[in-house]
Amino acid sequence: MNNLLTDIAGVRVGHAEDAKVASGTTAIIFDAPAVAAIDVRGGGPGTREDALLDLASTVERVDAIALSGGSAFGIEAGGGVQAWLAEQGRGFRIREAVIPIVPGAIVFDLLNGGDKAWGRFAPYRDLGYAAAVAAGHDFALGSVGAGLGCTTATFKGGLGSASAVLPNGIKVAAIVVVNAVGSATVGEGPWFWAAPFEENGEFGGRGLPAKFTPDMLAMRIKGGPAASARENTTIGAVVTDATLTKAQAKRLAMIAHTGFARAIYPVHAPTDGDVLFAAATCEKPIEPLVGLTELGTVAANVVARGVYSATALPFAGTLPAWKDCFGA
């Protein structure tokens, strides 16, 4: 176990980014189609193929998930991932037609100091293709892929991942791109809201403050009262090797959203676009009530890990990284 999404067998992750644009894309590739669902909690989401993941829709499984910066422009990243899958002959078959199924979600990172004057076509389709090509078992965290241009209210945001093994041997893992309107830290830090769920010092080992002051509990959001719905979002995916139906995957996504609430303050605001996918590779049977509930317990530490691992963007006036202020 490497504490990564790819601890789930048959799952690969790849990043691609453009340093000048200060944005990027992350592709989650399933070696075999996975049962999938989606749960949207934020007030300003940006998604691709979300209707297909509705429980009433026909298609049960997906070939990949695309996570990207770029706001609405970044939705094209899914097309790049889809193009790579088509070259591999992967997809949903209707007689001789083969259609790769690639849902996706985006974060708003258009005001982070990067050069967004890309001309007629945004770079995200090409970034999606490159991320799919790069997909493998090992992948970086922090300011990479879809997490490159992310921010929070207080520090540079980024991409995090974590995994766990349940007592019954079933694995569950998550990947999250943290671009929240709120803060992952208590006050101005160094403590993370998700500190009780930290393992092996994975985001600094600072614990929680000995006492909470009113200043620590004061709301910190991007732009204060004037925060814009265009600026934010936390997106990600929870993947398990348990055998789940589409409805059970939906429930897993709903439960896992509580991890966001344990790690971001405030969360699910009108100015957030919080989206969480859940997918199952269906390798191991699971008890449908208590067993399914256990699967939703791993997401909280992922958000803090994304902020802890981030590095600041090389532009004037950008947010500092947590490590710039508090070290390792």
User: CA-to-CA distance for 274 and 67, rounded, in angstroms?
Assistant: 12
Q: pTM score > 0.75 for this model?
A: yes
**Residue 156, beta-bridge partner list:** 151
Q: Which residue has the tokens 């994975």?
A: 202
Which residues, 6+ apart, have CB-to-CB distance to 51 below 8 Å? 57
- pLDDT over 60 at 78, yes or no: yes
- Quick one: tokens of 200? 């092996």
Pairwise pLDDT comparison (258 vs 169), residue with the higher score: 169
112 token code pair: 């982070």
CB 5 within 8 Å of CB 138:
no
The answer to whether residue 269 scores a pLDDT higher than 80 is no
Q: Is the pLDDT of residue 20 over 70?
A: yes
* Band of pLDDT at residue 306, cut at 50, 70 and 90: low
Residue 103, classed as helix, strand or coil, is coil
SS3 74: helix
Q: How far apart are CA 213 and CA 191, in angstroms?
A: 13
The radius of gyration of the chain's CA atoms, rounded to the nearest angstrom, is 18
Tokens representing residue 304 in the block? 């803090």
- In the structure encoding, which two tokens stand for residue 105, read together? 């979600």
Cross-strand bridge partners of residue 36: 279
Tell me the average pLDDT across 135-151: 94
Residues of the chain with pLDDT > 70, as a percent, come to 90
Asked if pLDDT for residue 231 goes beyond 60, the answer is: no
Burial class (CB in 10 A: 0-12, 13-18, 19+), 291: middle
Q: Which of 28-42, 193-207, 271-285 has the lowest mean pLDDT?
A: 193-207
Rounded-to-integer distance, Cα 303 and Cα 283, Å: 27
Neighbours of 70 (CB within 10 A): 28
The closest of 45, 16, 35, 78 to 241, measured between CA atoms, is 35
234-250: per-residue pLDDT in tens?
Answer: 899 999 999 999 999 99
Helix (H, G, I), strand (E, B) or coil at 194: coil
Host H or E run for residue 257? helix 246-263
10-14, 55-59, 75-79: lowest mean pLDDT where?
55-59
CB 78 within 8 A of CB 103: yes
Q: How far apart are CA 81 and CA 90, in angstroms?
A: 11
CA-closest candidate to residue 22, choices 143, 178, 185: 143
Residue 52 contacts residue 59 (beta carbons within 8 Å): yes
Q: Count CB neighbours of 75 within 10 A.
A: 22
Q: What is the pLDDT of residues 200-214, one digit of tens each?
A: 888 788 888 888 888
At 102 the pLDDT is 98
Cβ pair 152, 272 in contact under 8 A: no
Supply angle C-alpha 207, 209, 212, rounded to 5.
140
H helices present in 3-148, as ranges: 77-87, 124-134
Q: Which two tokens stand for residue 247?
A: 């409805």
H and E: helices and strands count for the chain: 7, 11
Rounded Cα distance between 5 and 71, Å, is 24
Q: Which residues contact 121 (CB under 8 A, 6 or more apart)?
A: none
Type of residue found at 314: P
Give CA–CA dist 116/143, Å, rounded: 18
